[in-house]
Structure 1
Amino acid sequence: MPNCRLIPRSLSEWSSSEQGNYVLKREQEYFDRTVSDIFGFNALQLGLPEHDFLHSSRMPLRFTAGNQAGNNVRLRCDELPFDSDSLDLVLLPHVLEFAENPHQILREVERVLRPEGNLIISGFNPFSLWGLHRALGRKQGYPWRGRFIRLPRLKDWLALLGFEVAGGRFAAYAPPLHQSRWLERFAFMEKAGDRWWAVSGGVYFLHAIKRVPGMRLIKPKWNEGLVRNLMPASAKLNKGVTQKNGQNE
């Protein structure tokens, strides 16, 4: 009988495969490096609870949430049961491309993040060998059934919500092969990809910060003559005496 490859029924199941491990290993490296420099108190990871992307975070409260078993909090990602302005960091590892309404998820994340709070997103790049494989394939199983979001479009969504992009990068330049021994043969493409075709990585990362415009107090330019006319007589008398005493000294 031919060796039929099983189709992953969830992103978590795919992440345990050799192909998924190749991608998640590079994502773990990026998240570990990035979250270690973000300070605050409360950090949330939505989805993929079996991968601790907050491992290197210094925040005292770190937890996972989502609709899968294994999360610290079970919830719908488009209806977050958290107070507004209550979180300092939110991670979205491959959440948006598998959501029915990614815009609503981003709106909820914007609501629960504090001003100057951080959002880090990972997603599959449609303009890559992985995106080409999805476009030419049957879109069955994971991650191919997802709707890969173009990075410029994602940036536009974030800008409309008041986020400012602070950084990002690409990774996973090797073709979407299934066996690790073949993926390792294309390991040279990681360094070469960063240098020669940086925007063609199979996965992108985007780090954004929630900006809240501050109010600036604009003081009026007073008409000194009008002010003197509006001053009560006692105030004018006291001011005149003060000026006279100052001249006599």
Structure 2
Amino acid sequence: MARWRAQHSPEVLLPALRQWFRGPVGGTVLHEEQRLMHHALSDRSTPGRQLLNLSVIPERFNVDPQLCQRQLHLGGLGQYGYSQILDAVCDFDQLPLANESVDMVVLHHLLEFVENPHTVLREVERLIVPHGKLVICSINPWSPLALRGLLGRLKRSAMWQNHSLSINRINDWLSLLGFETADVSYGFHRLPISSPSFFMNHRPFSPSMPMGGVFVLSATKYRAPLTPAAEVRKRAKILRHPSMLGATRDIKHE
């Protein structure tokens, strides 16, 4: 079993995250992420009936309501103080929803800050309907923002005691779970420095350019239902090996 970096308790981690996203660097990151995720969800390849929005900062991150008919916010026990935003308080690896009941799931900086990201992905796969969409937003480990995180780890900053998850690793997990990656875009092609203001205010680069501080990955679930439909079973023909046709078995009674 994979061994992950130990996470701080929610009482320490979540306030640190919220404070960082309110600052000049975190605020710029969040603004660019909103734009990239809106684009990933607005291609209309998936019927936007019901969307599950999972974020470590639900009070700061929202999906445009025009992209779905209904949006659900679920969160862990550490977010209980923000229950007026959450539809249900639960653990991220035990979500209180039926199998294949949501069309789209958004994971906003969740995989980096949960105890076991692979377990959360398996739970999310259970909820998404076949041909449903999964959109993941995460810190790019090959970026100046990630280098800033290394310094934060040396200082034992709660914000930066997170998992470092590359796109290749996430793609491997998704492939095993029956997902196919459709697109990857990058944002925050900046140095994580708030002064002088030029570093936060210069024109954004193309989303297709790697090395951005964050990436947004969209994938589609292509796992077929395990039980075939009744009409398919009626039309199905069972082909037998020629050697089995007319084969008999002699049973001798002693």
Decide: shared fold, TM above 0.5: yes
Alignment partner of 2:62 out of 43, 53, 68: 53
1:150 equivalent to 2:161? Answer no
User: Is the counterpart of residue 127 in structure 1 residue 142 in structure 2?
Assistant: yes
Give distance in 2, aligned partners of 1:178 and 1:72.
35
> Amino acid of the residue matched to residue 164 of structure 1?
E
Per-residue displacement from partner, 1:111-139 (whole Å, max 9, x unpaired)?
01111111100000111111122224425
Q: Is the 8 A contact 1:139 1:145 kept in 2?
A: no
Per the alignment, in what secondary structure is the counterpart of residue 74 of structure 2?
strand
**SS of 2:160 mapped into structure 1:** coil
1:62 shift after superposition: 0.8
Gaps of 5+ in 2: 1-12, 241-254
Name the SS of the counterpart of 1:152 in structure 2: helix
**AA in 2 matched with 1:17:** G
The reply on whether 1:28 has 2:34 as its aligned counterpart is: yes
Deviation at 1:202, TM superposition (A): 0.5
Question: For residues 179-238 of structure 1, what are the alpha-carbon distances to aligned partners after superposition, in whole Å with 9 as ceiling and x for unaligned?
Answer: 4724335x24x32x657xx2211001100111113668764679xxxxxxxxxxxxxxxx
Residue in 1 that maps onto 2:115 = 100
1:144-183 correspondence runs (5 A)? 144-179=160-195, 181-183=197-199
Residues 57 and 129 of structure 1: CA distance in aligned 2, closer, same or farther (over 3 Å): same
Q: What secondary structure does 1:29 align onto?
A: helix
**TM-score, length basis structure 1:** 0.76
SS of residue in 1 equivalent to 2:67: coil
Q: Per-residue CA shift, 1:129-158, capped at 9, x if unaligned?
A: 111222244254354221121110111011
CA distance in 1, matches of 2:216, 2:148: 20
**Match 1:62 to one of 60, 68, 71:** 71
2:49 is matched by which residue type in structure 1?
Answer: F
Q: TM-score, normalised by structure 2?
A: 0.74
| Kept after mapping to 1: 8 A contact 2:25/2:200 | no
Matched to 2:129, the amino acid is R
**Secondary structure of 2:190's partner?**
coil
**Distance across 1 between alignment mates of 2:190 and 2:70:** 36
SS in 2 for 1:199: coil
CA contact under 8 A between 2:51 and 2:68: conserved in structure 1? yes
Query: In the alignment, what sits opposite 1:209?
Result: 220
Tell me the matched-pair count.
213
Q: Does 92-101 or 33-42 show the bigger shift?
A: 33-42
Distance 2:130 2:190 in 1: 38
* Partner secondary structure for residue 141 of structure 2: coil
Decide whether the 8 Å contact of 1:173 with 1:201 is kept in 2. yes
Work out which structure has the larger RCO, using CA pairs closer than 8 Å and 6 or more positions apart in sequence: 2
- Structure-2 change in CA distance of 1:132 and 1:52 (3 Å): closer
Mark the structure with the bigger radius of gyration: 1
Task: Indicate if the aligned counterparts of 2:100 and 2:128 stay in contact, CA closer than 8 A.
Answer: yes
Q: How many angstroms does 1:9 deviate by?
A: 3.5
Name the Cα RMSD after superposition.
2.7
Distance between the aligned counterparts of 1:56 and 1:96, measured in 2? 24
Q: 1:36 to 1:110 in 2, by over 3 A?
A: same
Q: Distance in 1 between matches of 2:239 and 2:97?
A: 45
